[in-house]
Structure formats: structure tokens, C-alpha cells
Chains A and B, each alone.
Chain A
Amino acid sequence: MAIEHDQLIPSRPTVTWRTGLAQFPWWLVIILTIISIMVLRIIFDPIHRDIFITISQGLGVTLYVTVVSFSLSLVLGLILGLGRVAKNPILRNLAITYIEFIRGVPMLVLIFTISFAVVPLVARTFGLPNNAVSLTTRAIIALVLIYGAYIAEIFRAGIESIGRGQMEAARSLGMSHVQAMRYVILPQAVRNVLPALGNDLIAMLKDSSLVSVLGVREMTQVARLSVSTSFRYEETYFILTLFYLSLTLVLSLLLQLLQRRMRAKG
């Protein structure tokens, strides 16, 4: 009987070196090791160093395109997201049409279509020459129009995650629908979707490489141009990869820190 009794008591979970090893973030160690090896080669090998310096000339444009496009797509996304949940059927259907249209076409195709068909068309109707809009601006317009649709869905989900009672409570206090949205629903919705928005910021950083097809001199385009004369494919593309990997890693760590801080706040 004593044996049975022992079996009924679950063994106390102990922190052994095994569980400790299993929980250690090895993936981060592996990635950091790879990055370190690359960095060492850049420091000690002049060929790697030259390529590194070349690609870093596109870093500013990559960051600029990413930050500007993301900020503007937040604005467009919020407007479309509000349209998506509007009671007015005309507004709602316009928003859904736009979102479904964008989400149904590959990003690369949209970048071509917007830059070389939509923008010139709009420019012509305003009586402007075809080259009135710079390629960088076209790239930003394209990314904003595309990401606006994806971010709209994030905002929609955020707004819908707030219970009906919150809107009712705000309205019963005499607030208008707009006031209730502005002061009660949106602050909560935005807080709920911050992680998703963070993911989209990282995705935007990566997708900014697609605008290299327009000839915008961001990192990918600079790397492609460099390779076309140096033929150093291996070094160039490995270093380009290193750039994106380091940027996304830093960004995701920053976002996690921000999230932890917000959670601690309440």
C-alpha cells in the first residue's frame, strides 16, 4: 500500500541541468555565432569589408523607405480599418473592395502596377509629366497602398476584440459614436494589436527589398549593382543577408522589450 501511496503524489518538478539546457535560447546563440563569424570576416578581410561598406550605402534608403512607408500605412490602415467596421454599407463595401483587391494580388505585381501604371495614370490626369514622381516616392506609394490593406485588417480585428459593452457604456454616458471610438474603443484596440503591428513593421523592413525592382538604391539594389560588376556573388549576398538578419533581430528584440514594458505598466 505504501508503494501505491507514493505513486499518487506527483513528483516535484525539479530544475535539473537537462531542463535548463532545454529552455536556453540556443537559436539565438546559433544566429549570433553566424553573425559574429561574418562580422569577423568583414573586419579582417578587405574584400568583405569593401562589400560591407558598399551595401551599407543603401542602409539609409532601406530605413527611410521602411519608416516612411510604415508610418503612412498606419494612417491608411486605420482609415480603412474604420471603414471596414463602419455601419454605413457604402463605406464598408468600399473598404472591403480595396482590401480584398490588394490582398488578392502578389506584392511584386502590385509594386509594378502601382509604380508604372497607377502613378503615371494619376499624374497624367493632373497634367503632370510621366517622370514627375520619383522612383523612391513611387516605391513608398506602392508599399503604403499595399500595407494599408493588411494593416486595416489588423485594426479591424483590434476593434472587434473590444466587447460591445464598452461602446454601449460610452454611448450611455452621452458620447457620440465618434467620441466613443476615439476615447474608448481605439485606445484599447491599438494596445491589443501592437504585437501584430510590430510584426508588420518587421515584414515591411524585409519587403522594402522588393522595391529594388524599381531601381531604388536601397540595400538590395546596391548589392545587385555591385555584383553586376564585381561578380562576387557569395560575399555580396551573404553580407546582404547579414544586414537584413541583424536588422530584423534588433527590431524584434526592441519590440519585445517595448511589449514587456507596456505589460508591466498595466
Chain B
Amino acid sequence: MSRSAGQPMILIENVSKYFGSFRALDRVNLSVEAGEVLMIIGPSGSGKSTLLRCINHLEAPDAGRIVVDGIALSNNEAHINAVRAEVGMVFQRFELFPHLTVLENICLAQQKVRRRSRRESEEIAWQLLEKVGIPEQAHKYPGQLSGGQQQRVAIARSLAMQPKIMLFDEPTSALDPEMIKEVLDVMLALAAEGMTMVVVSHEMGFARNAANRVVFMDQGRIIEQGTPEAIFGAPQHERTKLFLSRILH
């Protein structure tokens, strides 16, 4: 695409977003390099999910500029679809399509958006199901799978579009504790392959093992950012300290 060498993969400039009179994002600036694994933490209502959802225009910012892989996100429908094709998203509640089998879930957008043949899309789907470790579930419906399995299918569904960026919106928050690891393992493998990732999550294990940078948000602003060691080991701001003292037992 139009991104030149040295340009960031995601560029967020002065982005603000209001819900009614509530200011969800307040002049946020952030850039993410290609291959970087960025983690966003913060209390609920701090704007971290909203920021993530602005990157693929599920929320339209009220002010500011977002450039993804060299494409400026405007209200231009063609630009938005171009960006969405490059950006995969994983939701807290999986959002698999319940009327389709696992295999069909992974194939649908490949066929309708990427215009791949049935054979080609199924081949890719099988490879991805191997990768996330559940090929034996291919012909089941999402409702027959555990939460962890569903989330792994959701990741496979996004990867099938061969995105350059993967967004994760609290991917383990809706999971039973014993299923969190199987999802995190898939995410760790993805990070190791060099995928550009933006992850909204409080999984400290993932942060220490995979994140290059941690961003702390509160009240719609980025309060501080740095390496996981710096943020968790020696936070500079009072609000960061307070937040971390609450989530790290």
C-alpha cells in the first residue's frame, strides 16, 4: 500500500471521541511500529476499547486523524473497507457467527471479501485450525465449543484474511480461568511471528512475555507508556500506581 519505509503501521493524531457529553477519548496521540506488540491497560471507562475500535473505524473519531498502513481513515467508505481488510479484530465475546460451522465461519469473509474459491478458503481454514490447535472441531457449530475454543476460532477467522495488524479487545475477559492459557498461547505464537498487535487486556503474563510497550490510559488520555518492566516495575504517575496496586495482588 502507500506506507513508506520508516512510517508507523498505525498513526493516531489528536484523536477525540465523545459519546453524548461524555469524553471517551481526549486528544490521544499514539503510533505503533510494524511488528510491535502494544498493550493498552487502564480502568474501565478509560477509553482503551474505544481507541482500539477507532483503529478499524467501528467508532468514528470526532476529531483528529488516524492513518493505518498509509491509508488515512476518513468517512470514505472505500478507505474504511481497505483498512478493515488489513486489520483483524478479536472481540471479548468472540462474536462467531452461530448459524455457521467453525469451518464456514473462517471461510465466509475469505469468499465474500477476498473472493477466494471454496477450495482455497477451506485449505487456508484447515491450516489455521491446525495452527490454533482445534482441527477436530471444524464441522461443529460455535455453540458446541468451549469459550477458549470459540476464541481460538475467532482468531483463526481474523487471520484467514491475512491482516497486517491484529486488534484484541479483552480477548480473555469472558473466559473461564482454565481456558485463558490456550488463547494466550495462540497470541504469544502470533507475536513471535512478528504480527503487529494492539491488545487491550490485563493479562500480566502476556504483557511480560510478549509486549514491547505498555500504554496506561485513564479518563480518555494516555497517562504514561513504556516497556512492561518500566510500567509495572517503576510507574511514574500516581494514577498508574493506584491502578496497578488494584490489579496486581
Contacts and interface: CB of A to CB of B under 8 A. Distances in A.
Interface in A190-204: 191
Given A175-B113, A183-B108, A266-B143, A165 B81 contact: no
Given A166-B97, A187-B99, A191-B99, A173 B113 contact: yes
B84 A172 contact: yes
15 contacts: A165-B91, A168-B89, A168-B95, A169-B95, A171-B84, A172-B87, A173-B113, A173-B157, A173-B158, A173-B161, A174-B81, A174-B161, A176-B81, A191-B99, A266-B141
Interface string B153-165: 0100110010000
B166 to A, nearest CB: 11
Given A173-B113, A175-B112, A184 B97 contact: yes
A71 interface: no
Interface residues of A, number: 19
Among A169, A170, A174, A183, max chain B CB count under 10 A is at A174
B112 A172 contact: no
A188 B95 CA distance: 13
Contacts of A173: 84, 88, 108-109, 113, 157-158, 161
Contact of A188 (B91, B99, B108): B99
B85 interface: yes
* Size class of the B contact interface (CB-based, 8 Å): 20 to 34
B239 interface: no
Given A169-B96, A173-B161, 12 more contacts: A169-B97, A170-B97, A172-B89, A173-B157, A174-B109, A174-B114, A183-B112, A184-B108, A188-B99, A191-B99, A266-B141, A266-B143
A130 interface: no
Interface of A: 163, 165-166, 168-176, 179, 183-184, 187-188, 191, 266
Contacts of B143: 266
Nearest to B111: A183
Given A183-B108, A191-B99, A168 B91 contact: yes
Nearest to B89: A172
A175 B109 contact: yes
Contact of A172 (B58, B96, B97, B98): B58
Given A174-B113, A183-B112, A188-B99, A169 B91 contact: yes
A179 B91 contact: no
A137 to B, nearest CB: 37
Contacts of A168: 58, 89, 91, 95
B23 interface: no
Closest 6 CB pairs of A and B: A169-B95, A173-B109, A174-B85, A172-B89, A174-B113, A165-B95
B87 to A, nearest CB: 7
A103 to B, nearest CB: 30
B108 to A, nearest CB: 6
Interface in B67-81: 81
